Amino acid sequence: MRKRKANTRAEDYPGGGRAAAGIDALAEQLATYLPAEQIERVRGAYAVGARAHASQKRKSGEPYITHPLAVAAILAGLRPDAETIIAAILHDTLEDTGLTRAQLESGFGSTVAELVDGVTKLERVDFASRLEADAESFRKMLLAMARDLRVILIKLADRLHNMRTLSAMAPDARRRIARETLEIYAPIAARLGMNAIRSELQDLGFRSLYPDRYKIIASRIKRTVGDRRESMAVIERALAERLAADGIPVQIISRIKAPYSIWSKMKGEHKTFAEVMDVYGIRLVTDTVAHCYQALGSAHSLFKPVEGRFKDFIAIPKANGYQSLHTVLFGPFGAPIEVQIRTEDMNTVAERGVAAHWSYKTEATPPNSAQVRARAWVETLADRQAATPSSIEFLENVKVDLFPDEVYLFTPAGDIQSLPKNATALDLAFAVHTDVGMHAVAARIDGKLASLRSRPVSGQTVEVITAPSAAPNPQWLEFAVTGKARAAIRQYLKRLQHEDAIDFGHRMLESALDTRGYSLDSIPPTALDRFLAEHSVRRLEDLLSDIALGNRMPDQVAAKLTALGGSATGVALHRSEKIRISGGERGILSFGNCCHPLPGDDIVGYLSPGKGIVVHRVECPNVVELAKLPERRVEIGWDKDVQGDYRVELRVEVVNRPGVLATVSAAIAEANSNIDDVKYIERGIQAATLIFAIEVKHRKHLADVMRRIRNTKVVNGVYRYPL
């Protein structure tokens, strides 16, 4: 990989005439901001890449090197450094050619090698599915992003060119890539403030996924824009005259909505095409922040503003660094005018995001706010992925964080927290600090007490109330929105589940050993270690957890352990002793929907692989069938101290007349029971039969509910269901 002479011609390189012309065009583009010696390094990278890809073709039949060249050209429009351009040209060499990382590092330095490696996918041979492989490759890319944000610039440019040339792919591949682009890469571009790339990715993805819808909307946009050209000119002329009279320098740009944006609004807001398009969009670009606010005043004096539609993203920037003033005015032609007002610098950041005025962290020039915010976001994701073992789960958490809409909340200290739309007070607690979220019990929103489920709106001040004894519970996952909150809650619950599984598995194994006259303490450590090694179990705790989760049968484990050695303790003294349950064993107990067991019922458990113990009433009809699997049976009973609410169903036969449902529901509520569901299963002229799914604490509580129902004057009978 020797450096080439500065006067080397493009046609001297391999890759064909079109590719040679491409490197010349790229060099001209780079000459506007890079010195000649850096451009020669780029030419050298092209020579290496063209030789490495010499025998490869794209699906379209073009030489493969045309793709990395196009990726580099997209990036050149963002004016990054030479290392980024070189890495873009070489970004597929590690994955698709015989070049090694050591060769890249030797020829172009460690930075380029690190960037190329960060964009390179993982081999799929080690994964069970494409989904798992893609998720793990995304995790790898994210870690590389945390070290160097230029990795995601290359990846987005790579995806953009692939989307531009997607027509050469098979239909199934087109749909899969388009969906992935809309779900992951376009939102990432938006999150990093790269709105020009985000918009093109969305439209290309929309066109590939829904080609007919795209054609219809695109043609209607073209027709609508043509019809309103004169009225737009009138509005622009009126604004230009007023701003000039007020001494405010300004560039006025008409904004045309993109097909994907229109389709999203039609779908998300249930609007017709006419309703979405019945809006004029104008952007005012001026020179200073002061002139932005003065231009706002001028626009408001010319056309009346729509109340409640003003947003100041200059004072409070979006999470991706975006800054602008937004207002909506009553237009002269009966349609509203959406106006954005920003400086030239803000406009550049709005289009390019982290790539605007690119300054890498090793340079003296401080990075812009978009870069600071992007690095903070990526570092947060990197911390979260370390605590999420499953790549697929981590990818889903990231998707949650890529919501396009945001709310801005204040803490009592005056700090601003940006959260996704529909975020709750609980999400804010985790945004402030993980420890605050873990011990949250309630919130005060603008001074008023509120639950953690509450959804504050932008501008409100939220104070999180904590208690040292508080801890997450599974219900939190029902309303937590942000990936950070959900990942922390899941991690805590999994740890609790593992602890409960170890404890319960220990009791089950001890019970199985006891029937043979042994105990776990009587099994020699050497015998236990041999068993663990033979069955590929790392440690005793994992074995006990496997037993509780139904992945290993306690009797079988006990038989093998005793066969390996140990001293019998004598005749089993507790053969008939049941394992007592409190009902709160997390993740290892479930209750059969066929019989809905309650505290106080005679119960039996059966091990189900991966689910743990499924609890049934002894008289449940399914127990007869389960009895054919005696090795899975677990003798269990209720502990003295049982807490929580348990689902049970009641069959209620009523007189069919108006108000009967309300009467029965009131009786259930008076007995301090909640109704989960109710449905009619029979309905005649004189009588009807309903099934109520309710929550009770135990058999005695159920008896009280049934007595109150019978005492109403509208019930012919009430029975536990199924009988």
Tally DSSP H helices, then E strands, for the chain: 29, 20
For residue 245, count CB atoms less than 10 angstroms from its CB and return exposed for 0-12, middle for 13-18, buried for 19 or more: exposed
The answer to whether residue 543 scores a pLDDT higher than 70 is: yes
Tokens 């108006």 correspond to 658
Residue 128: how many CB atoms within 10 A of its CB? 8
> CATH 3.30.70.260 occupies which residues in the chain?
646-721
Residues 168, 170: Cα–Cα separation, whole Å:
7
> CATH 3.10.20.30 occupies which residues in the chain?
405-481
Amino acid at 663: T
**pLDDT (0 to 100) of residue 718:** 94
Catalytic site residue 123? no
481: which residues sit within 8 A by CB, 6+ positions away?
400, 403, 419, 420, 422, 423, 424, 427
Which residue among 12, 28, 96, 677 is the active-site one? 96
The answer to whether residue 417 scores a pLDDT higher than 90 is: no
The answer to whether residue 400 scores a pLDDT higher than 60 is: no
**pLDDT (0 to 100) of residue 387:** 59
The string over 507-542, giving b where at least 16 C-beta atoms fall within 10 Å of a residue's C-beta and e elsewhere, is: bbbbbbbbebbbbbebbeeebbeebeeeeebeebeb
pTM of the model: 0.58
What DSSP element (H or E) covers 263?
Answer: helix 259-268
Higher-confidence residue of 346 and 682: namely: 346
CATH number of 217-355: 3.40.50.1820, 3.30.460.10, 3.30.70.20, 3.40.640.10? 3.30.460.10
> CATH 3.30.460.10 occupies which residues in the chain?
217-355
Higher-confidence residue of 403 and 285: namely: 285
Query: Yes or no: is domain 646-721 CATH 3.30.70.260?
Result: yes
CB contact at 8 A, 459 and 410: yes
Which range, 103-107, 179-183, 360-364, 490-494, has the best average confidence (pLDDT)? 103-107
Q: What percent of the chain has pLDDT over 70?
A: 84
The answer to whether residue 483 scores a pLDDT higher than 90 is: no
Residues 339, 360: Cα–Cα separation, whole Å:
33
Which residue among 95, 312, 635, 704 is the active-site one? 95
300: which residues sit within 8 A by CB, 6+ positions away?
327, 329
What DSSP element (H or E) covers 525?
Answer: helix 525-534
Q: How confident is the model at residue 575 (pLDDT cuts 50, 70, 90)?
A: very low
Q: Nearest to residue 73, comparing CAs of 200, 160, 177? A: 160
**pLDDT (0 to 100) of residue 465:** 92
The string over 337-370, giving b where at least 16 C-beta atoms fall within 10 Å of a residue's C-beta and e elsewhere, is: bbbbbbbebbbbbbbbbbbbebebeeeeeebbbb
Give the tens place of pLDDT for each residue, 4-50.
Answer: 333 444 444 454 556 667 888 899 999 998 999 999 999 999 999 99
Catalytic site residue 95? yes
Q: How confident is the model at residue 641 (pLDDT cuts 50, 70, 90)?
A: confident
The answer to whether residue 388 scores a pLDDT higher than 70 is: no
**pLDDT (0 to 100) of residue 4:** 38
For residue 649, count CB atoms less than 10 angstroms from its CB and return exposed for 0-12, middle for 13-18, buried for 19 or more: middle
Bridge-based pairing of strands 416-420 and 406-410 is: antiparallel
> CATH 1.10.3210.10 occupies which residues in the chain?
10-214
Say which CATH class 10-214 falls into.
mainly alpha
Give the tens place of pLDDT for each residue, 47-73.
Answer: 999 999 888 888 888 888 999 999 999
**pLDDT (0 to 100) of residue 300:** 93
Average pLDDT over residues 195-201: 90
Just give the CATH number of 405-481.
3.10.20.30
Average pLDDT over residues 541-569: 83
Q: Nearest to residue 280, comparing CAs of 232, 237, 324, 236? A: 232
Average pLDDT over residues 480-496: 84
Between 391-401 and 130-147, two packed helices, what is the crossing angle to 10 degrees? Answer: 60
